[in-house]
Homo-oligomer: A and B are copies of this chain.
């Protein structure tokens, strides 16, 4: 089977060399989203991390094999293939963004004192904080090691995108922590924060894939915007589902409300509410006379008074539609665009 693909690929290269433009023939070689995911999981499974020191590398293997949806590497590989690149040659870069993402989880879990990650004990809960710090550091460095395995002529540009993305994630995390202590946070502040903390990583991953696939600078910018809008929609939906999700899907509702988190729901409600309702929004989670259920109910009553669910749903749709509209404007064939659309839909996909 591999031989067959290789021969096909040989003819395809020949065909390209004759200067034909990019046409539907590419689709013969394109992988669909499941194939991309399988390819990536197979690569990760074969990745040889050092064995020693055990307490440094064991938590890394635990973290990297702990599931997760592999959104960022899959998006990177899809974008690479969309521009005619070979996903196989981009696997180390895909692993780099996944390793980086998992590094942020290790350190975020220390900062949030989170005991559980993906249904299992977090690294800091299982091995302690010092191990989580140092294994996290190692993962971040290792992500650069993986990244530097790409063709050297593309390394400077990819490094720039990766490093800029990584700094934005740190800045977003800092703003997120700052917001907890700040009295006044606007909806605009919040959108800028999630653009850094959540959207930058998707946008950077997509752009690295596009660069590796050979996209033009103009297309790289568009791919960035596509993934950025998608990332914003994704985060807004994440906030929405925390208060309005379907309990039957096993997710507990109201965690953000009980923590008094400044989510997009809270901030949009604050910007619309009367002073009296604002007081409810500000103080309900601190009210020790109320049960958890009563707190959630009381805050959601205020949300409902200002139709916050619909407001956020509209914002999500706006972002999502913007993301998809950028796709129509890319110099890629129809099947590639469809793969990216499938990805975008599945990302948002708790409700199809």
Contacts and interface: CB of A to CB of B under 8 A. Distances in A.
Interface of A: 50, 52-53, 55-56, 107, 110-111, 130, 133-134, 136-138, 140-142, 144-145, 148, 152, 155-156, 159-160, 163-164, 166-167, 170-171, 173-175, 177-178
B111 A170 contact: no
B130 A56 contact: no
Main secondary structure of the interface of A (DSSP, over half): helix
Given A50-B171, A107-B137, 17 more contacts: A53-B175, A55-B174, A56-B170, A56-B174, A133-B133, A134-B170, A136-B137, A138-B167, A138-B171, A140-B141, A141-B163, A141-B170, A142-B167, A144-B159, A145-B163, A145-B164, A155-B156
Most buried by B among A110, A144, A156, A175: A144
Given A140-B140, A174-B56, A178-B55, A163 B148 contact: yes
B155 A133 contact: no
Contacts of A148: 156, 159-160, 163
A122 B178 CA distance: 21
Contacts of A177: 55, 130, 134
Nearest to A156: B152
Contacts of A156: 148, 152, 155
Nearest to A158: B148
15 contacts: A53-B175, A53-B178, A56-B170, A107-B137, A134-B170, A134-B173, A137-B137, A137-B140, A140-B141, A141-B163, A141-B167, A142-B167, A145-B164, A148-B159, A159-B159
Contacts of A173: 134
A155 B144 contact: no
Contact of A170 (B137, B164, B178): B137
A138 B170 contact: yes
The 6 A-B residue pairs with the shortest CB-CB distance, nearest first, are: A56-B174, A53-B174, A152-B156, A141-B166, A138-B170, A111-B130
A247 B271 CA distance: 63
Given A111-B130, A137-B107, A178-B55, A167 B152 contact: no
A237 B50 CA distance: 31
Contacts of A50: 171
